[in-house]
Homo-oligomer: A and B are copies of this chain.
Amino acid sequence: MDVDAANDVVVRRILDAHPVLVGVGRALDVVPGMRKDLILHAGPPVTWDRMCGPLRGAVIGALLYEGMARDEREAVELAASGAVRFEPCHHHAAVGPMAGVTSASMPVYIVENRTHGNRAYSNFNEGYGRVLRYGAYAPEVLDRLRWINETVAPALGQALQRMGGLDMKATIARQLTMGDEGHNRNVAGSSLFARQLAPALADCGLARDELRGVLRYLAENDLAILNPVMAACKATLDAAHGVTGSSVVTCMARNGTEFGIRVSGLGDRWFTAPAPVPKGLYFPGFREEDANPDIGDSTITETAGIGAFAMAAAPAIVKFVGGTPQDALAATLEMYEITLTENPAFAIPQLDFRGTPTAIDVRKVVRTGITPRVNTGIAHREPGVGQIGAGLVRPPVAPFQEALRALAELVSP
């Protein structure tokens, strides 16, 4: 088995992928394998007893949201009882930022990879502060989530249908010329998203206060497009998964307890290690001791060659995650050391339009000792609190080493 030849196939699939945001649907209706008694979560598999605070908080919130529990105590009992199941979003062609919790009745964005025909899904972004994805579940958190899911999501779905979809590959490319890296910084993309959707939204027959509300949701949330961007990355990488012999990473994700990867040539197996705590800037009143270990599927962006891999395109981000603009350039330059190609569709103006470093090779990670860089939000370690900062993190090298060993066993005669 020729690893390089397999990787060539994977690289071609990643570069050829053409993700388009085609619409919105209810998770139960559109996410493959979704069930009423199933809660999807970020990262590799994890049982209730090993779940971190913010993930537990988000699960409690989802059970309350679905009417499966009447209060926190009931929700905790139910979660621990085994009567609800927990599975990674990644097992269902889905991704979710931070806790990533997605339950049956929640709406999801639908991204179609026009080249390879596969689809990927992501839940809706709630904005800032006390939100479910950071483990908050107070009544006002769930009220806002309900409004987003029941008013914003169907309207955006209608508008996307009228527009014939939104080209996510072109949108991400444009974001990178506008100071976004597509993970922690999505203000340009979210502005383009709002601007492009607005005329179509005006045609959806919404009541005036609903229309204003939806437009305000888009106007006030600089991360509105993060979830479609993540689904676009997932649709890209799912098409590149499952190529026998390939050493390319097709998924990196964290559940707040463990960090895990999957590799194209190694099937559905996860390679995991304890998740580290991010280094970063904390909101007033919080510090590193309050921080939960790294959590979320949003590392799908780095896996697809954007996010921290495209830091050079987003020098202003250092005001939020720490460091200097020079560090931002260095971050991208370093990632070329562990990737197989440069994506010409995602050109970084600051590097003379060099393509983003793309297709992480576990062999290169192990050989160089350079682990992928990741931008991330920071959740409080207790359930119910929410976001307390943003920063940078390096995943542990062990999962890459283990994956390489597994690959070696597989490809050796």
- Chain A: residues with CB nearer than 8 A to chain B? 177-180, 187-188, 190-192, 194-196, 198-199, 201-203, 208, 211-212, 215-216, 218-219, 315-316, 318-319, 324-326, 349-353
Interface pair A194/B203, CB less than 8 Å apart: no
Q: How far is the CB of A288 from chain B (nearest CB, A)?
A: 25
Give the residue name and chain of the B residue nearest to A318 (CB): B349
Interface pair A202/B188, CB less than 8 Å apart: no
Q: How far is the CB of A347 from chain B (nearest CB, A)?
A: 9
Interface pair B195/A218, CB less than 8 Å apart: yes
In the complex, chain B residues whose CB is within 8 Å of the CB of A194 = 191, 194-195, 198
In the complex, A104 Cα to B97 Cα: how many Å? Answer: 53
Interface pair B195/A315, CB less than 8 Å apart: no
Interface pair B208/A202, CB less than 8 Å apart: yes
Q: How far is the CB of A157 from chain B (nearest CB, A)?
A: 18
Interface pair A211/B202, CB less than 8 Å apart: yes
Interface pair A199/B219, CB less than 8 Å apart: yes
Instruction: Indicate whether A198 sits within 8 Å of B218 (C-beta atoms), given known contacts A212-B203, A325-B349, A325-B352.
Output: yes
Q: Can you list 8 pairs linking A and B with CB atoms under 8 Å apart?
A: A177-B179, A191-B194, A194-B194, A195-B195, A196-B219, A199-B212, A201-B215, A318-B349
Give the residue name and chain of the B residue nearest to A192 (CB): B191
In the complex, A201 Cα to B195 Cα: how many Å? Answer: 13
Give the residue name and chain of the B residue nearest to A189 (CB): B191
In the complex, chain B residues whose CB is within 8 Å of the CB of A319 = 353
Q: For chain A, what secondary structure do more than half of its interface residues adopt (helix, strand, loop), or is it mixed? A: helix
Interface pair A324/B352, CB less than 8 Å apart: yes
Q: How far is the CB of A156 from chain B (nearest CB, A)?
A: 13
Interface pair A216/B199, CB less than 8 Å apart: yes
In the complex, A178 Cα to B203 Cα: how many Å? Answer: 30
In the complex, A216 Cα to B352 Cα: how many Å? Answer: 33
Give the residue name and chain of the B residue nearest to A213 (CB): B199
Interface pair A191/B195, CB less than 8 Å apart: yes
In the complex, A351 Cα to B318 Cα: how many Å? Answer: 13
Instruction: Indicate whether A215 sits within 8 Å of B198 (C-beta atoms), given known contacts A208-B203, A349-B316, A349-B325.
Output: yes
Instruction: Give the one of A191, A196, A211, A216 with max B CB within 10 A.
Output: A191
In the complex, chain B residues whose CB is within 8 Å of the CB of A326 = 352
In the complex, A353 Cα to B218 Cα: how many Å? Answer: 28
Interface pair A212/B218, CB less than 8 Å apart: no
In the complex, chain B residues whose CB is within 8 Å of the CB of A196 = 219
Interface pair B352/A350, CB less than 8 Å apart: no
Instruction: Indicate whether A349 sits within 8 Å of B187 (C-beta atoms), given known contacts A198-B194, A212-B199.
Output: no
Interface pair B219/A195, CB less than 8 Å apart: yes
In the complex, A219 Cα to B203 Cα: how many Å? Answer: 14
Q: Give me 14 other A-B pairs in contact (C-beta within 8 A), A194-B194, A198-B218, A199-B212 excluded.
A: A177-B179, A178-B179, A190-B195, A202-B202, A202-B208, A202-B215, A315-B349, A315-B350, A318-B349, A319-B353, A324-B352, A325-B349, A325-B352, A326-B352
Interface pair B178/A188, CB less than 8 Å apart: yes
In the complex, A179 Cα to B353 Cα: how many Å? Answer: 14
In the complex, chain B residues whose CB is within 8 Å of the CB of A177 = 179, 316
Give the residue name and chain of the B residue nearest to A324 (CB): B352
